[in-house]
Chain A
Amino acid sequence: MHSKLQVRVRNIIEETSTIKRFTLEANDHSMLPYFSGGSHITTFLPYPSGTLERQYSIFNISPESGLFEIAVHLADGSTGGSRFWHQNVQVGDVLSVSYPKNYFPLSFQAKRHVFYAAGIGITPFLSMMAELAEKKSSFELHYAAKSKEQCGFYDYISKTYPHQCHFYFSNGDGAKRLLPTQLLNHRIGTHVYFCGPENLIQDFTTAAKSYGYPSFNIHAERFAPPQKKEQQAFQVKIKRSGKQLDIPVNSSLLEVLLQHGINVPFSCRAGGCGTCEVRVVKGQIDHYDSFLTEEEQRSNHMMLSCVSRGKGRLVLDL
């Protein structure tokens, strides 16, 4: 079930001083599988201390089909995935990656799609825009970066989608800021999609809701769980075995369950996909996911074990 794909790095392009684009091809020269707009892969990076798993949105803006492309932004002080990609990966290297998955699909009910990206948050929209352009669907992009030079894929986007894109550069003269009030301009039937730093996602989501957008029309992509203000330890009781487990401040419920041989299925580990949902019989839940509906969260009967926590003690239906 968890079979992996072997890919070879065909090409590396420096998009900006901090963003590299990697073109990946199947190691056996077959076509890599088709993927829908918004899809991502997990890459398995060989580290001396073990395999490091990192997720990246995939797109293919090369002239050839059957390839995956990812763009990696070198994060300040990275000791993980982005540094590995930037410093260790060379053309010709062979790596393992997962099959494509999509936790950020396009709505099929939307009359218009509007994308809000900041920085490297542009990547899922590259495949989404390509899909919509092919279907001749209506969309627009609002894309913020520090400057034109640091704006990944600026030339490609402005050339390919000249009428659909709006850029916002925060540095230099005539700086233009991307503001949530932009959300007031969209016609009925619009679905909005946010990808970028956590504060962008939160500010735009909050603004959209305050303007009366239904949650149904708001989509966001996170590759990391939202930052919690203060995390508390809590306890769980497993209903069937009666086992009691402590979840310390720096561990997730999912991690503790797995350590104790309770095999909860999981995937994104960022509260976005719903795979690791567990049923809760008793106790107060602190929800941190972006998957369950508000109604489901309020019901207090289910939680995503990768990010959500308990207040005090929970009884789980496991």
Chain B
Amino acid sequence: MKEFLYTKGKRKYIFCADSKGAELLYNFVQQAMEDKVPFDFMIIGDKSDAFLEHWYSQQKMGTFLYLSGQWEFIKRLKKLALEAGFSEYEMQINIVGQISKKLVCCECYGVNEFIDDDLHLTCKHCGIVLEVSSHYSRRLEAYLGYTSIS
């Protein structure tokens, strides 16, 4: 993952955080204020998907989005932002705490959960040893697990 950095040269910034992720954004808010660039800062709390989707889709080109928080929170907001039209070139994310990812078995297509630094795991559906690859499917929101040959 890329380093979480302030991207200069944007018209507007949107900072979204959960209660765990807010602190990391304070420096960026400070920077936006110094650069006199407009921004919105929001601790999302219990805002509905419909609200967020509407808010995101009202933004103009040149807006940059920062998401900071726990994995489940990031997954939800990133999905809403992509649906509204933000691309991965217009957002940066910072994940607080553990990331739980999905691995699809190349043999039985079963889905396994894994944490970030696992390199191998045994498929809980068919029992073969899988290697975590860097091939990611947006559709399945999962990585492909290959048969491990060693």
Residue ranges of A at the interface with B (Cβ–Cβ < 8 Å)? 109, 111-112, 183-190, 208-217
Contacts and interface: CB of A to CB of B under 8 A. Distances in A.
B89 A211 contact: no
B85 A213 contact: no
Contacts of A186: 60-61
A179 B26 CA distance: 37
B15 interface: no
Given A211-B62, A214-B89, A216-B87, A188 B57 contact: yes
Interface residues of B, number: 19
B9 A212 contact: yes
Interface in B15-67: 56-64
A188 B84 contact: yes
A46 B84 CA distance: 51
Nearest to A187: B60
Nearest to A107: B87
Contacts of A215: 89
Nearest to A189: B85
A216 B89 contact: yes
Contacts of A111: 84-85
Contacts of B143: none
5 contacts: A187-B85, A188-B60, A188-B86, A213-B62, A216-B89
Contacts of B10: 212
Contacts of B9: 209-210, 212
Contacts of B61: 183, 186-188, 190, 208, 211-213, 217
A215 to B, nearest CB: 8
Nearest to A185: B60
B57 A187 contact: yes
Contacts of A209: 9
Contacts of A212: 9-12, 61-64
Nearest to B58: A187
Contacts of B86: 188-189
